Structure 1
Amino acid sequence: MIEHEPINTGAAKKIGIALAVLLVFMVLSNLSSWSANITAAGNLKASVIGGAIQNAFYQSLGKGASSKFSLAQDEVSSRLVVPETAQAYLTLPRAADASAMGNIDQGSKVDNGWKLSGWTYVPESAGTPEFVIAVENEKVIGVLAVDQDRPDVAKALNAPRALRTGYSGQVTRSLNTEGCKVTLYTLTSSLQLFAMPSLCDKANHPAQ
């Protein structure tokens, strides 16, 4: 008959506690190291997890800051026109001595108009870019929503609010129009118009 040595429950309990403390220490050390490596400025963008967190942060700031037009109370009287017989209308001032930052990535002619894509960015005081307005012979021929994420722009400008600055689409040109006579504007959430880079220059020099 085999005799078993008595188990020292006190010693086993102490060993268990020591192992638990060691495990907690190892977990905390690994978490601290992970946090330092992932959140360090140089490593955040290169990390898969850190990159995803950063992109989500950009999206929350970029998209959440827009989608509502606003008009200051003291601007109503100067910008609202109410004729006696015709419909009332609101004037949209052009930003004085200022243009929207941005680029026309594509500005090419198609059968019935222009195919456009790019990005546009305005000063924070002007709100957020909402629409790209295409005007030809003083007539609006197209409106494109500024609703696409451009993480490259946000990174280049070091501005999270510059994430939602992309646009793309097609506008229809006026009939019997020769050459390029289209001007682009950015309409902001504060109801201001900002001049944009020249579409005609882009069309004439597509390689630039």
Structure 2
Amino acid sequence: MPHPDMEWMNLFGLRYTDEAVTDFLSKQPPHKADKPSDGSQYVVCEQGGFDLLFDTRHAQASSTSNRQDRRLSGIFFYNDGVDKHQRYPGPLPLGFDFADGRPGLLHKHTPERTWVIGEGRVPVDHPEPDHDRWDFAPLQVSAHYGDDGVEILYFVVSQPSGKPEWKPAETWQSLALLPDRKADAIKLYREKHNVGVAEAKRAVEQHAAQAAR
């Protein structure tokens, strides 16, 4: 059962003009609705420390989806000073708090995914992740960090996108570290450097050996 001060949990899937949304916003500090862009629209409440994201992800699987039928799919809760927002003062999912920092969050709950931009999914013990994500059925919550990988800049509570998880393109360097993909690594090295098999094989083996040290 949602926390009594987490009224926003009941707003997912509703339009900006729906009565429950307008009633919720009427009890918050002043906000502004940005101009829609690419099927998305943000409602920004800097004094309240949060933004609402309305988009069409609910209808993306339909060939007849209406790009004007935007519904709430995500809420951003900000730390003080982030994107000109004041710190969100209300309770957060899973008992999280901005003061926890990443170590405190991990102590409370183990994330189901840790992420680095450009690399994708990484081990939870990665020293400088961009964000962690936890299940918060039927939603999900993610914590996004500063450059040190510790300070919490903001939380996002969202509906699952339903899209396949992004994965980085394979490179000869990454494949060289996988014993069963050595042949693929050699092939990619040859294509990239226009060299023979022997030279590519030597480069791949050297890279794997250095990484194993």
Q: Normalized against structure 1, the TM-score is what?
A: 0.21
Q: Which has the higher strand share?
A: 1
Q: Which has the higher helix share?
A: 1
Q: Return the index of the structure with the highest Cα Rg.
A: 1
Structure number with the bigger relative contact order (C-alpha 8 A, sep ≥ 6) is: 1
Q: Normalized against structure 2, the TM-score is what?
A: 0.20
